Structure formats: C-alpha cells, structure tokens
Amino acid sequence: MPLVVQKYGGTSVADPDRIRRVARRVARTRRARNDVIVVVSAMGSSTDDLISLAHEVSSDPPAREMDMLLTAGERISMALLAMALHSEGVPALSLTGSQAGILTDASHGEAKITEIRGTRVREGLEKGNVVIVAGFQGVDPTSKDVTTLGRGGSDATAVALASAHGADVCEIYTDVMGVYTADPRVVPEARRLETVSFDEMLELAAGGAGVLMARSVEVGRRFNVPIHVRSSFVEDEGTWVKESTMEEAIIRGVAHDTSEAKATIWGVPDRPGVAAALFETLAGARINIDMIVQNVGQDGSTDISFTVPQSQARAARRAAAPLVKELGARDLAVDTDIAKVSLVGAGMKSSPGVAARVFRALADASINIEMISTSPIRISCVVRRGSVDGAVRALHAEFDPPVITEEVGANG
Ligand code: ADP
Ligand code: ASP
Ligand code: MG
C-alpha cells in the first residue's frame, strides 16, 4: 500500500472544529487505500503561549525544562486528532516523538535528528492504524531526555519520517495554498509557485520564508523526498518542492526575515587571527552566525559586523565581550532593529546585472543597504526593520518573479 506522510501546522489544528476537519481529510486519504502517518504541530499559538508562560516564572528557564514544557503542545494535538479519527471510524494511534523512535542529539531547543527507529510506527501501521506523531520533538538516547528541534520543527519531523519510512510523498498542510513568490501577507499580488527546486527552497526558507523550516528542506534534498506544500482549508494544487526542474527561472522569489540582530565590533586590530579568535569564541558558545562583513582596514584597525538570531543576541554579546576587551577593540554594539531581504533564483548565476537591479530598486525606494551577502543563487541585504516590507515589495515589483507553469522537458 502506498505510504503518505501528512503534516498539519498550528493553524490547521487551532480549534476542535479544525481538528475534526483534519480528521476528515486524513480519513479520506486512509479510505483511498493509503497507509498514513500524520505529524501535528501544537494548536494555534500554543507554543508561543507556553514560551511566555515560562518567562513569567523564570528569566532564564533551563533548556531541559523548556523542552519538557514545549513538547506538551504537540502532545495535546496528537491525542485530540486520534480521538477525532476514532469518531470518524478510523483506528488511530498517537505517539510522542520518543515513542516514534525519533532520536536526536542533546542540544535542547535546537536538537538535530540523528536516527529514526521505525518499529513502533511500523507496527501501528501494520495493525491498520493511522499513526499520529507529535511534531517538533525527539529524545536524546544518552540522557533519555526529550528534546525539541527548533521553531517550525514539525516540518523536519514530517520529512524525516517520510524518508525513514520510504513514503512516496511528504504533504505539508498549512494556512496558505503553497509556496509563493513572496510572503502573501506582505505582497498581496505574490503568486503561487507550481514547483520549486530544493536548492531554491532552501535559500528561500533560510532567508525567512517560514512556510517550510529550512532543515526540513535539507532533509528532503539529501534523501530526495518530494515535499508537497498545500492548504489544509481548500483543495488545491499546492507547490511541489523537488529536484531541480529543467527550466531555470532567473528569479523564483523574495524572502524576508525579521528574526535576526546585527552585532558590530568597532576598531578591531587588523591582523591575522582576529576573525578566527572571534568566531571560534562564538562557535564555542553555540551561536549561529549568518552574514559577516569586515571592512577594509585603516590605520591598523577595522570593523566586523555579523548577524545572529535575536534570541541569541544576548548570548553573543556575553561571549564576545571578554575578547573585545582582550583585543583592545573600541566598542561592541548589538542592533536588533534590522531585517534581511533576499532575492532567490537559480537562473541568476548565469544572468548578469541582477545585483545591480536589486540595489537600484532599493535605492529608488529610498532604502539604505547596511550589509550584503550572496550565494550563487541568492542576494541578501540587511536593511532597517521599518523598511523591510517596502524592500520586499520593491524587489517583487522589479523582478515580478515568473510562475513556471510548465517544465521544459521531453515534450517541450
Ligand atoms: P504552519 O503553522 O502551518 O507551520 P507557518 O506559519 O509556519 O504555518 O507557515 C505559513 C506562513 O508562512 C504563511 O502564513 C505565510 O505568511 C508565511 N510565508 C512566508 N513566506 C512565504 C512564502 N514565500 N510562501 C508562502 N507562505 C509564506
Ligand atoms: N509548535 C512548534 C512551533 O511553533 C513546531 C511547529 O509548529 O512546527 O515552532
Ligand atoms: Mg511552520
């Protein structure tokens, strides 16, 4: 029997009505003679609510206890969905990440999946159940503690389960009709993409297109699991994320991210080993660095800026401060009022002038660029937080990313 993995995000299971609706959809898939593994997120904004609750009782909640708390969110929705399926006459079994054999490393709050032991899920399916797995969580086999995979982690659970169990497709059901050329909340005229390659989707997701967690796309790419992003509210075509198509659009879309902060160290000595010492220190504190810019040295000193997740800004400052002193640098400043806008498209690598058009479009919208970084298929700029929506609209209007309606393949 074909095996389908379906993941339903927080909005899709936000209240009892929506859970019953999801149950009906799962039941239809099951009755169409598929084995079904369902991954669920916590209901609505309950993960955010749990995080706020934690900060009401502690200014610095221990990471282990935070994971104990947050895993409860997905546990509620998995059990409720199992009950709703029983009411539909469909046998269902809910499992925590740990029960589903999802083993991770020990990094609480951002654990990576290291192995999936499939026995329990397989037995559940063999007995005729729909198996429901709590998203976003696993267990560290050494400490036996539960872990969480990072925000949006249910996507990673779903794609990893699809890969481990050899599913034909991983369906991600969410509150939009697929992957768009920009966040439809910011650009109402953004268009749905029919297909997008793993590489492009990875850049879009890493650039802040939260419709998929970047790590889930990485897993999909590594194990070649096609990901089908669809609306849980309307029947539609959705977007296929899969191996690159033969057609390469110059531009696929625009992504933006308001979750980062910029740190700048002014007046660092301009000599070998300084950048190494700084970024070794930050790596030792497990800080995730995104963009890095170092200016040309002048009079023996230079400035280094880098971006980090806002949630790690305090930790980055704490880690870097002693080194800043030791190096005799002038100052360390952290700016949280920034945002990043990225233009993504596999065709830009062979199409000159894209960067110039990006900078011109932002200039014409009177938007100042503070940092720039590129990959062969992406150009990202850091701008003031207040101008990011304008930046996204300006780039979307400039490039008007085309929707690819047909692959140029054997017939074309
Ligand atoms: P879920 O709870 O289902 O996981 P998310 O909120 O994580 O849903 O992701 C869906 C949201 O992603 C959409 O509501 C949309 O605002 C946002 N988004 C950002 N960029 C894009 C994009 N390029 N295409 C579609 N949605 C996007
Ligand atoms: N509930 C978690 C979050 O809000 C995981 C997820 O929804 O994917 O980040
Ligand atoms: Mg999500």
Percent of the chain at pLDDT > 70 equals: 96
The CA 219 to ligand 2 mean position distance, Å, reads 17
Look at residue 244 in the predicted model and tell me its pLDDT.
Answer: 79
The CA 390 to ligand 2 mean position distance, Å, reads 28
Look at residue 408 in the predicted model and tell me its pLDDT.
Answer: 37
**C-alpha–C-alpha distance, residues 158 and 146, integer Å:** 18
Residue 371 has pLDDT above 80, yes or no: yes
Look at residue 402 in the predicted model and tell me its pLDDT.
Answer: 59
The CA 62 to ligand 2 mean position distance, Å, reads 19
Percent of the chain at pLDDT > 90 equals: 90
Q: Residues 185, 146: contact at Cβ < 8 Å?
A: no
pLDDT band at 410 (very low <50, low <70, confident <90, very high): very low
Number of continuous H segments (helices) and E segments (strands) in the chain = 11, 20
Look at residue 412 in the predicted model and tell me its pLDDT.
Answer: 28
pLDDT digits (tens, 9 = 90+) for 374-403: 999 999 999 999 999 999 999 999 998 755
pLDDT band at 296 (very low <50, low <70, confident <90, very high): confident
Count Cβ atoms within 10 A of the Cβ of residue 404 and give its class: 0-12 exposed, 13-18 middle, 19 or more buried.
middle
CB atoms within 10 A of CB 370: 18
Minimum-distance ligand 1 atom for the alpha carbon of 155: 4
Closest CA to 81 of 126, 16, 125, 140: 16
| CB-ligand 2 contact for 47 (6 Å cutoff) | yes
The CA 239 to ligand 2 mean position distance, Å, reads 21
Residue 85 has pLDDT above 80, yes or no: yes
Look at residue 406 in the predicted model and tell me its pLDDT.
Answer: 38
Q: Is 170 helix (H, G, I), strand (E, B) or coil?
A: strand
207 CB-side CA count, 13 A:
32
Q: Which ligand is nearest to the CA of 171?
A: 1
pLDDT digits (tens, 9 = 90+) for 224-273: 999 999 999 998 899 999 997 666 778 999 999 999 999 999 999 988 99
| CB-ligand 1 contact for 185 (6 Å cutoff) | yes
Q: What b/e readout covers 317-341, taking b as 16+ CB neighbours within 10 angstroms?
A: bebbeebbeebebeebeebeebbbb
The residue whose two tokens read 């990875």 is: 202
CB atoms within 10 A of CB 144: 8
pLDDT band at 407 (very low <50, low <70, confident <90, very high): very low
| CB-ligand 1 contact for 245 (6 Å cutoff) | no
| pLDDT (average), residues 313-336 | 93
Q: Which ligand is nearest to the CA of 156?
A: 2
Look at residue 405 in the predicted model and tell me its pLDDT.
Answer: 39
Closest CA to 68 of 166, 181, 144, 172: 144
